[in-house]
Amino acid sequence: MIDFSGHHVVDLSPRMVGRITRLDGSVEEGNKDIYGLPWILEEGRVPYDDTLYTLVGGKEGDSYWPPGRVSAHCGGSHIEGGKGHMDHWEGLPDDVRGLWELPLDTFFGPAAVCFFDELEPVEQKNDEGEIVKVGQPILPEHLSNVRKGDIVLLGSPFRGAEQPTLAAGTTRWLADTGIKLLAVGAPGIAWESDFQTPQPDNSPTHRNMLGNNIPICYPLVNVEKLKKDRAFFIAMPLNVERLEATWVRAIAVEEL
């Protein structure tokens, strides 16, 4: 029997508060994640037994969230896979898989915990000639505890432009190393770049991870609460075919 006594369990998922519209038309406000994406909820009633339920999504045209509907990329920690998300991009393999097609143990297992509190930002001049602090690139030499088959959990205490940046070459190295999942603390890690670069040179982290059937789980919190560089990570996606991303409750467990 699995026993977590003698272990430290860390909740890696940020707390989201849904903005809910009640049956009487009143609204209880919620919050948004670090990307400005909310949970939108709407209360409903089951006629035959008078129970209440909550729909995920709201009214189209609402000033708070005009689309009304939400995706599983909205509002807190989620896992995303390649199929249905970016397998239409140029230059990707033909065998990009969906989350529902990946082995169950893709989403749990030993994790390399990489918290870059010593990778401090460096000073450089910006385009206006001002001295600013910017994050350093995360390179393979900063990931010495990563092993084949690992989940890789990244975090740092830095914010904004001072966050360490996951370099494109490093994501290629991670894929070649044979990791099985990338888990990213945010804010803390700037992990994608070149969104607007023409294909096939855009979004190297998405390409190197999802294009090699390595899911990405983010945004995560509390990575700093892990005290060791190895832990056991769990973040189980919903088992829904054609759903390219699903919400998760991510945890990490380490021995005391």
- Read off the pLDDT of residues 10-33 as tens digits, 9 standing for 90 and up: 999 999 999 999 999 999 999 999
Range of the domain at 163: 78-255
Same-domain check for residues 190 and 230: yes
How far lies 201's CA from each of 129, 180, 210, 215, 240, in Å?
Answer: 29, 23, 14, 19, 30
Instruction: Average the pLDDT over each of 44-58, 91-105, 124-138, 148-162 and give the range with the smallest value.
Output: 124-138
- Which pLDDT score is estimated for 77? 96
**In the structure, what pLDDT confidence band is assigned to residue 165 with cuts at 50, 70 and 90?**
very high
According to DSSP, residue 142 is labeled: G
* pLDDT of 1 over the 80 cut: no
Cα-Cα-Cα-Cα dihedral of 210, 213, 219, 223, to 10°? Answer: -130
Tell me the C-alpha distance between 120 and 161, whole Å.
Answer: 11
pLDDT at 44: 96
139 plus 46 within the same structural domain = no
pLDDT at position 111 over 90? yes
Tell whether the model's pLDDT for residue 79 goes beyond 80. Answer: yes
Residue 112 has pLDDT above 80, yes or no: yes
Residues 96 and 55 placed together within one structural domain of the fold: no
> Which segments of 143-203 are extended strands (E)?
151-155, 165-166, 181-185
Kindly state whether residues 48 and 66 are assigned to the same domain.
yes
Look at residue 4 and tell me if it is in a domain.
no
Let me know if residue 134 belongs to a domain: yes
Same domain for 138 and 62? Answer: no
Q: How is residue 239 annotated by DSSP?
A: -
Number of domains making up the chain = 2
5 domain residue, yes or no? no
Structure confidence at residue 113 (pLDDT): 98
Same domain, 112 and 47: no
pLDDT digits (tens, 9 = 90+) for 171-196: 999 999 999 999 999 999 999 999 89
* Same domain membership, residue 50 and residue 88: no
Q: What is the mean pLDDT of the chain?
A: 95
